[in-house]
């Protein structure tokens, strides 16, 4: 690009829109973390259901310990991505705090509910988790202007409403179902979009 | 009455730099260079002009033992950009109505 001084207003508007579009395409999410978390939580949910429903294992909830490993991996992954990245976006920053507040809220609610009787705890935990989970997914969709995540968030709230009428055993299957709708599908769509924009960029570079 | 277009922004490369930085929090020199397809020399000159006008904040640091220049738009830059876009819209609306 040269520094052409005499621009028409149309040319100026074209430069502005093309640069903003360029940034959005270059720094679109590759969907990796959505797919990682989606699949991990999906398999944890299925494993918990199998352990509880078929084997009546009292320690079925321990499968969720795997999430700590994924969380540590994510911290290192994001740190490396931050170091390698040569741009910081506003949306990335807002989304980071949306998810951070979700994780903190999740801990607070979990600790508060753990004082309840086991039967009440088991009745409430899945609907509450799904209702809360819908919030960051929905907000991420709004911030990124990405409809699959908006629908994913709404789907979590619908699943939460239905889960209230289902026994604990089958409530456990709502978590993997929410993962497929709210993370795995949007993750695949993001991955596909990222692949397409990278390919288009290579062709235009 | 038309507003005068800001001469600092009304040039292809400086406008491209500002448009890019308006949509991100901060970006480094290489990112701006790749996005604008400008030469390093020309880009440095234009970034300096934007910095002198108070539209950009430029920080020089080291990343993996290599110098890294990062640019960030200032609130003065945001205001100037917004006024520029408003003035442009005025021109486009008038020429569209003709």
CB atoms within 10 A of CB B26: 16
Mutation for testing the B interface, residue in A6, A18, A19 having most B CBs under 10 Å: A19
Checking if the pLDDT of A135 tops 90, the result is yes
Between the alpha carbon of residue A82 and those of residues A37, A93, A170, A190, the distances in Å are 19, 11, 40, 19
When mean pLDDT is compared across A159-163, B8-12, B54-58, the lowest value belongs to B8-12
A24: contact with B, CB 8 A cutoff: yes
Domain that holds residue A132: 27-204
Could you tell me which residue, B25 or A180, shows the higher pLDDT?
A: A180
Chain A residues within 8 A of B23 when measuring between CB atoms? 19-20, 23-24, 89-90
pLDDT band at residue A205 using 50, 70 and 90 as cut-offs: very low
Between the alpha carbon of residue A188 and those of residues A31, A77, A181, B55, the distances in Å are 7, 19, 11, 39
Between the alpha carbon of residue A52 and those of residues A45, A123, A140, A170, B3, the distances in Å are 11, 15, 33, 10, 71
pLDDT of res. A113:
86
Q: Three-state DSSP class for B64?
A: coil
A86: contact with B, CB 8 A cutoff: yes
Whether residue A22 is contained in a domain is answered as no
When mean pLDDT is compared across A85-89, A111-115, A194-198, B10-14, the lowest value belongs to A194-198
A111: contact with B, CB 8 A cutoff: no
Q: What CATH code would you report for B12-97?
A: 1.10.10.10
Chain A residues within 8 A of B88 when measuring between CB atoms? 9, 12-13
Could you tell me which residue, B89 or A160, shows the higher pLDDT?
A: A160
B40: contact with A, CB 8 A cutoff: no
Whether residue A123 is contained in a domain is answered as yes
Contact B1, B79 (CB under 8 A): no
Whether residue A155 is contained in a domain is answered as yes
Could you tell me which residue, A26 or B44, shows the higher pLDDT?
A: B44
Checking if the pLDDT of A201 tops 70, the result is no
Number of domains in chain A: 1
* Rounded mean pLDDT, B28-41: 89
Checking if the pLDDT of B70 tops 60, the result is yes
Could you tell me which residue, A176 or B90, shows the higher pLDDT?
A: A176
In tens, the pLDDT along A52-66 reads 999 988 888 899 999
Mutation for testing the B interface, residue in A9, A10, A27, A95 having most B CBs under 10 Å: A9
Structure tokens at A24: 């959005």
Checking if the pLDDT of B11 tops 50, the result is yes
pLDDT of res. A157:
96
In tens, the pLDDT along A38-53 reads 999 999 999 999 999 9
Chain A: give the shortest CA distance to residue B76, in Å: 18
Chain B: give the shortest CA distance to residue A145, in Å: 14
Checking if the pLDDT of B46 tops 90, the result is yes
Chain A residues within 8 A of B20 when measuring between CB atoms? 19-20, 22-23
A79: contact with B, CB 8 A cutoff: no
A56: contact with B, CB 8 A cutoff: no
Q: Three-state DSSP class for A58?
A: coil
Could you tell me which residue, A18 or B97, shows the higher pLDDT?
A: A18
* Rounded mean pLDDT, B72-88: 92
Q: For the complex shown, is ipTM > 0.85?
A: no
Checking if the pLDDT of A204 tops 70, the result is no
């Amino acid at each position: 690009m040269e520094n052409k001084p005499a621009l028409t207003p149309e040319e100026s508007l074209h430069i502005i829109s093309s640069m903003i579009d360029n940034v959005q395409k270059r720094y679109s999410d590759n969907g990796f973390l959505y797919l990682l978390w989606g699949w991990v939580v999906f398999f944890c949910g299925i494993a918990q259901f199998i352990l509880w429903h078929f084997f009546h294992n009292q320690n079925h909830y321990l499968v969720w310990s795997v999430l700590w490993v994924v969380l540590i991996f994510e911290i290192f992954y994001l740190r490396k991505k931050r170091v390698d990245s040569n741009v910081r976006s506003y949306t990335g920053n807002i989304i980071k705090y949306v998810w951070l507040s979700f994780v903190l809220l999740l801990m607070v609610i979990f600790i508060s509910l753990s004082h309840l009787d086991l039967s009440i705890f088991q009745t409430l935990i899945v609907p509450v988790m799904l209702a809360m989970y819908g919030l960051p997914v929905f907000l991420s969709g709004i911030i990124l202007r990405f409809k699959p995540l908006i629908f994913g968030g709404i789907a979590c709230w619908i699943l939460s409403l239905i889960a209230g009428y289902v026994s604990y055993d089958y409530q456990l299957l709502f978590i993997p179902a929410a993962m497929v709708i709210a993370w795995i599908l949007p993750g695949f769509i993001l991955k596909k979009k990222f692949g397409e924009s990278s390919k288009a960029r290579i062709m235009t570079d | 009455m038309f507003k005068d277009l800001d001469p600092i922004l009304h040039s292809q490369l400086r406008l491209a730099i500002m448009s890019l930085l308006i949509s991100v929090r901060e970006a480094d020199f290489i990112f701006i260079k790749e996005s604008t397809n400008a030469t390093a020399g020309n880009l440095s000159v234009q970034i300096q002009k934007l910095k002198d006008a108070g539209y950009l904040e430029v920080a020089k640091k080291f990343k993996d033992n290599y110098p890294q220049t990062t640019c960030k738009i200032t609130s003065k830059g945001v205001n100037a950009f917004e006024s520029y876009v408003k003035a442009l819209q005025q021109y486009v609306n008038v020429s569209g109505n003709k």
